[in-house]
Amino acid sequence: MATATLTKKDFFTVLDDRHSVKSYDASHKMTKEEINQLLEETQKAPSAWNLQHWKFLVLENQAAKDKALPIAYGQRQVADASIVVCILADTEANKNAQPVFSSAVNKGYMPQEVMDSLIGQIEGAYQIPGMGKDQGIMNSSLAAMQLMLVAKAMDYDTCPMGGFDRQKMIDEFQIPPRYIPTMLISVGKAKEPAYPSTRFSIEEVTIWNSF
């Protein structure tokens, strides 16, 4: 793994420095190496049964970003950021079990019996209506968060976006029915700082033991 572009920021500094940046230097280009590094680190996100319920649709040329601009209701970060990553939820990630577990078995990380038992468990769970979609959205959201933090560690800024027309995104970018867009994330160099944001206090959001 190339680490040349990773900064030496500690994790808590990365957390403090990440904000949703909406104004980007439109002239800044990310290299292919940087984009690959961003995605490689993002790939390390956890997922249920390690099924890796995501795909990354990377809009890196101007034509693709401009096509997404009206779909995202004209949010300028879509056209001006260096790249926009459409995080896709894999609604049929149960199909990933075979290749993921075979690789673990071949490497000696998992006995064959465990693989067979897990596949049975997964196929059972995926019979539950809505399971594929729920799992896809939940797990791809973890990858989305990881991508934003990795980007910050690489000295890039991001903005997650749920404000876009999902059906138009699917139609315009020919996203196969297996996948649904979870969110768009702009990645680039800030031209203006993010708006400050506040958070509830821990007391307001924490319930100890039971409601």
**Contacting positions for ligand FMN (CB under 6 A):** 19-20, 22, 75, 159-163, 183, 194, 197
Beta carbons of 78 and 53 less than 8 angstroms apart:
no
What's the CA gap between 53 and 43, in Å, rounded?
10
Q: Measured from the CB atom, is 111 or 163 closer to ligand FMN?
A: 163
Q: Measured from the CB atom, is 200 or 208 closer to ligand FMN?
A: 200
Q: Measured from the CB atom, is 5 or 20 closer to ligand FMN?
A: 20
Beta carbon of residue 118, minimum distance to ligand FMN (angstroms, whole number): 30
Residues 6+ apart with CB under 8 A from 146: 41, 42, 44, 45
Residues in the chain: 211
Q: Is the dihedral of CA 2, 161, 24, 82 positive or negative?
A: positive
What's the CA gap between 123 and 118, in Å, rounded?
9
Q: Measured from the CB atom, is 100 or 190 closer to ligand FMN?
A: 190
Beta carbon of residue 188, minimum distance to ligand FMN (angstroms, whole number): 14
What's the CA gap between 81 and 147, in Å, rounded?
15
Beta carbon of residue 141, minimum distance to ligand FMN (angstroms, whole number): 8
Residue at shortest CB range from ligand FMN: 163
Beta carbon of residue 15, minimum distance to ligand FMN (angstroms, whole number): 10
Beta carbon of residue 13, minimum distance to ligand FMN (angstroms, whole number): 15
Beta carbons of 144 and 57 less than 8 angstroms apart:
no
- What separation, in Å, do the N-terminal and C-terminal C-alpha atoms of the chain show? 45
Instruction: Return the structure tokens found at 155.
Output: 């000295």
Q: Measured from the CB atom, is 107 or 199 closer to ligand FMN?
A: 199
